[in-house]
Structure 1
């Protein structure tokens, strides 16, 4: 005689756990985005200079390593806010430059923010509602991000504006894919740690915003 009831209960418990994971991820993501915006605003108010590429990379990877080590403890939350707060501080001088150097700087910033929000909400909503598994994109995204990262460093050190714009366009596509990929991982249980999921989505949003900002800034400049 079959006993389907335990299977139904198990499926329900798994679904509840998945919903809790997604809810915790998006709650923490919203908090980190607000905190990052606050540190960016503080950086702009204090007119802090940009720390430079080297300090930014060392700070980012160092704090990311710390988050990874502490992801299963309460200290992981503090590390997440440390990482996102630091990234907000590095964002402030960039925003200040766009606002002061472009005649339509405020419009460019707002368009980049709106575009980032629309892309994130649209792609996350699609991944959550369709429940499609985008885990197959993992290898492609890893290789693409590595190539784009190295090309971006080359564009900075060799001062190649055309390459920099190309990298920004690549990052728009790659970060869009990363949002789909990580949201799918949450839905299908490939990612079970909401701290790491939050960091991945935050990084995707941060880079998507910067890439759109550069592309829109170039399109709106008089040069």
Structure 2
């Protein structure tokens, strides 16, 4: 039985895709360690994370700085170091939300529910993106536009302070970043993303934002001690 060069090329391409996906999942799991560490340190020492409009602007500036650094170093081991530094920073930035949630008598339960719910969403959607024949590539532009609208709505709500608007932002945010999991995982599966550090960054941001929005929603039903 003869095997054509095209078959060799196809097999090699599939192996590369599987390796990128495997490395991405391993690095994503690893990235949770500095995130948890940053969150624990932030809560234990009550680190003064800026809130409000100033805090949001600072968060965007620092996040984009880290993302720029990750993209510049993604082809070397330093990219992993910068990525893990970014996830540590993101853990610290959860301090206000976690502190507020832990102020409820069932705060610990709410955090575990948010973590479990986020993990379940990721597992289900990543599995769908891996096996489905449906093409999610057309969602990219719409999802990016949705993120822009989400940022603008969040900025507006710092002035309006409308609980109903924040509720809508959280629900829409969960939907957008859940859809991004489908989009990003399928890009890896189809060979559209071949760098596992960049792939991990994308998936990490999706998971982080979903967790944050889910925990915010669950906090609406928190029980005061």
**TM-score, scaled to structure 2:** 0.92
The whole-number CA distance in structure 2 between the counterparts of 1:147 and 1:55 is: 19
Question: Which of residues 50, 66, 80 is equivalent to 1:63?
Answer: 66
Equivalents in 2 of 1:157, 1:121: separation in Å?
36
1:200 shift after superposition: 0.6
Aligned to 2:48: 49
**Cα 1:166/1:221, change in 2 over 3 Å:** farther
Distance in 2 (CA, whole Å) between partners of 1:35 and 1:47 is 17
C-alpha separation in 2, matches of 1:201 and 1:131: 20
Moved more, 163-172 or 76-85: 76-85
For 1:41-100, what per-residue CA distance to the aligned partner results, in whole angstroms no more than 9, with x for missing partners? 111122212233232222111111111222222221121112111111111332121111
Shift of 1:133: 2.7
User: Equivalent residue of 2:193, what SS?
Assistant: coil
Check if 1:81 corresponds to 2:84. yes
C-alpha distance in structure 1 between counterparts of 2:179 and 2:202, whole Å: 12
166, 171, 175: which one pairs with 2:173? 171
- Structure 1 56/111 Cα, relative in aligned 2: closer, same or farther at 3 Å? same
**Equivalent residues in 2 for 1:12-27, closer than 5 Å:** 12-27=11-26
Aligned residues: 220
Measured on the aligned residues, the alpha-carbon RMSD in Å equals: 1.7
Aligned partners of 2:58 and 2:133: how far apart in 1? 39
| Counterparts of 1:68 and 1:155, CA distance in 2 | 31
Residue 121 of structure 1, CA deviation? 0.4
Residues 150-169 of structure 1: per-residue CA shift (max 9 Å, x gap): 10111123322211111111
Task: State whether residues 133 and 188 of structure 1, in contact with CA within 8 Å, keep that contact through their aligned partners in structure 2.
Answer: no
- CA distance in structure 1 between the aligned counterparts of 2:135 and 2:33, rounded to whole angstroms: 29
1:10 aligns with 2:12: no
1:193-222, Cα deviation, whole Å (9 max, x unpaired): 111111110000000001111111113467
- Confirm or deny: 8 A CA contact 1:156 1:164 kept in the other structure: no
